């Protein structure tokens, strides 16, 4: 066995390391269609955990799940021209229906009366429905969410991070007033923060996007920004206040309490399978994936050690008994998820397989362990060859503590890395350019900014954007990083995925 389980380290080549983690953890693979992926069972189980945790909170905040068609008429898209301009180059368009055989080849036969866009996002389709469904102030607020797939052609695909088809949820709401819509926007960003930071243990900076980085057609875009282990930023979730822009285009009007016709205020918000990529790049190490316990499909994997067939029965019985006792314990409000790996393979192969998959705790039980009433315990946050030998009953009673230790360790390590890679002492634009062009190249820079939209283009020369205007401001003033004039607004600058 090599020093590390993966053939490349993060330090050697981060992009290749990322692909190796996905491969070694058996999470996903590229499909036969460029830019699309097959999500394999382990990767999908992780997505399901995120989905269930998030869906619970979406419904608790008063939203109803629904589903809208995958195909959107081009004429409907055209109504939102300013919105879709940002997606236009990425859109997939269906122009024909029906296939016929000609000269031994299947060919499209009949053009559609109107081209159909494969859903890139659903503001236009849902806006049309809102216009039909909303008549009175009594119909408001209307708060919908759908779990769906979307398609945006991707030229540089990377599994989970950027694919032409990906899975997500998109929420869409309509409100009587701007204040209600803004409250909704902030409420949903906090839902995203809770799941991504408190459960996925990805340290986040919540804030608002600058004008140049807003969602097309939005009045305000709010975001949670994370730092990956190569110092780049990842936009982990966004929530948009759309004002009355979409209401005007779709004529979403209601009769208020005074009998006057008013346009609604709308919001939209979403997160996607990109979160799985963020999970990998935040917590993975040179042996593979590392999963926070709340997200892990299996929190404890139990490996029977059987070298003599005569011991098989007692060992297997002990392993299943341990799994049953663990399942009676609770962590983070749920029964502990324990799994017995009874496959016909060596214990070492199985252990390394689960290490690569990121399982928080791995237990081994063999005949000698049975005699002592003990087990061998490996923790994913410790070196792979480090183990302890707790008594089984002690381990069962303390399993929640072991999981909490793992959870805390992952979060603290990620926060420490972000702190090491964040600077707030870059004095001017030349120094900023030198930072991102020089040996550092990545990381976060917290700086003052004048807020003038025309200054945003200056960062593009060296691949940097304003990731967000953090909610938490220092309250001090200083020279704008671009113009040098006195400024009070803090921004986070970084290269991003």
Q: In this predicted structure, what is the pLDDT of residue 307?
A: 87
HEC sequence for the chain: CCCCCCCCCCCCCHHHHHHHHHHHCCCEEECCCCCCEEECHHHHHHHHHHHHHHHHHHHHCCCEECCCCCEEEHHHHHCCHHHHCCCHHHCEEEEEEEEEEECCEEEEEEEEEEEEEECCCCHHHHHHHHHHHCCEHHHCCEEEEEEEEEECCCCCCECCCECCEEEEEEEEEEECCHHHHHHHHHHHHHHHHHHHHHHCCCCCEEEECCHHHCCCCCCEEEEEEEECCCCCEEEEEEEEEEECHHHHHHCCEEECCCCCEEECEEEEEEEECHHHHHHHHHHCECCECCCCCCCCCCCEEEEECCCCHHHHHHHHHHHHHHHHHHHCCEECCEECCEEECCCCCCHHHHHHHHHHHCCCEEEEECHHHHHHCECEEEECCCCCCCCECCEHHHHHHHHHHHHHHHHHHHHHHHHHHHHHCEECCCCCHHHHHHHHHCCCCCCEEEEEECCCHHHHHHHHHHCCEEEEEECCCCCCCEECCCCCCEECEEEEEECEC
Residue 362 predicted with pLDDT over 70 = yes
Can you tell me the mean pLDDT for 430-434?
Answer: 96
Domains 300-405 and 423-494 are alike in CATH topology: no
Read off the pLDDT band of 418 (50, 70, 90). very high
Q: What is the CATH class of 300-405?
A: alpha beta
Can you tell me the mean pLDDT for 290-307?
Answer: 97
Q: In this predicted structure, what is the pLDDT of residue 62?
A: 98
What's the fold here for domain 423-494? Answer: Translation Initiation Factor IF3 (3.30.110)
Q: In this predicted structure, what is the pLDDT of residue 79?
A: 80
Average pLDDT, the chain: 96
- Kindly state the percentage of the chain with pLDDT values over 90: 93
Q: In this predicted structure, what is the pLDDT of residue 81?
A: 66
Domain residue spans of the chain:
14-283, 300-405, 423-494
232-266 residue pLDDT tens: 999 999 999 999 999 999 999 999 999 999 999 99
14-283 maps to CATH 3.40.50.2300? no
319-341 residue pLDDT tens: 999 999 999 999 999 999 999 99
């Amino acid at each position: 066995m090599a020093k590390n389980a993966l053939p490349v380290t993060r330090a050697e080549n981060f992009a290749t390391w990322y692909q190796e983690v996905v491969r070694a953890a058996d999470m996903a693979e590229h499909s036969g269609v460029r830019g699309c992926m097959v999500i394999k069972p382990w990767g999908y189980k992780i997505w399901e955990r995120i989905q269930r945790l998030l869906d619970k909170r979406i419904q608790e905040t008063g939203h109803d799940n629904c589903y809208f068609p995958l195909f959107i008429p081009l004429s409907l898209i055209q109504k939102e021209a300013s919105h879709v301009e940002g997606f236009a180059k990425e859109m997939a368009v269906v122009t024909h229906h029906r296939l016929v055989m000609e000269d031994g080849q299947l060919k499209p036969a009949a053009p559609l009366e109107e081209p159909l866009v494969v859903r890139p996002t659903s503001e236009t389709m849902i806006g049309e429905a809102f216009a039909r469904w909303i008549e009175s102030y009594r119909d408001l607020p209307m708060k919908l969410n759908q779990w769906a797939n979307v398609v945006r052609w991707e030229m540089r695909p990377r599994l989970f991070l950027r694919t032409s088809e990906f899975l997500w949820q998109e929420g869409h709401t309509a409100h009587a007033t701007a204040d209600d819509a803004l409250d909704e926007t902030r409420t949903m960003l906090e839902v995203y923060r809770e799941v991504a930071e408190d459960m996925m243990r990805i340290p986040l900076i919540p804030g608002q996007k600058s004008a140049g980085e807003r969602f097309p057609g939005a009045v305000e875009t709010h975001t949670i920004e994370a730092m990956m282990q190569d110092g780049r930023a990842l936009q982990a979730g966004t929530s948009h206040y759309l004002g009355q822009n979409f209401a005007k285009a779709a004529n979403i009007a209601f009769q208020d309490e005074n009998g006057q016709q008013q346009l609604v205020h709308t919001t939209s918000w979403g997160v996607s399978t990109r979160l799985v990529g963020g999970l990998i790049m935040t917590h993975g190490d040179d042996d593979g994936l590392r999963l926070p316990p709340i997200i892990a499909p299996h929190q404890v994997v139990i490996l029977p050690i059987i070298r003599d067939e005569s011991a098989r029965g007692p060992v297997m019985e002990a392993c299943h008994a341990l799994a049953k006792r663990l399942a009676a314990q609770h962590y983070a409000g749920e029964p502990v998820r324990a799994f017995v790996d009874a496959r016909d393979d060596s214990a070492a192969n199985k252990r390394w397989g689960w290490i690569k998959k990121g399982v928080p705790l791995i237990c081994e039980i063999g005949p000698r362990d049975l005699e002592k009433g003990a087990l061998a315990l490996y923790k994913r946050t410790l070196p792979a060859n480090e183990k302890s030998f707790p008594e089984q009953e002690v381990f069962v009673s303390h399993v929640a503590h072991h999981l909490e230790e793992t959870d805390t360790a992952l979060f603290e390590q990620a926060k420490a890395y972000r702190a090491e890679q964040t600077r707030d002492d870059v004095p001017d634009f030349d120094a900023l350019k030198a930072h991102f062009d020089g040996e550092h190249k990545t990381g976060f820079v917290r700086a003052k900014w004048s807020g003038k939209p025309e200054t945003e283009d200056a960062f593009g020369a060296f691949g940097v954007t304003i990731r967000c205007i953090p909610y938490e401001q220092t309250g001090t003033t200083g020279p704008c990083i671009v113009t040098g004039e006195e400024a009070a607004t803090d921004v986070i600058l970084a290269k991003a995925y």
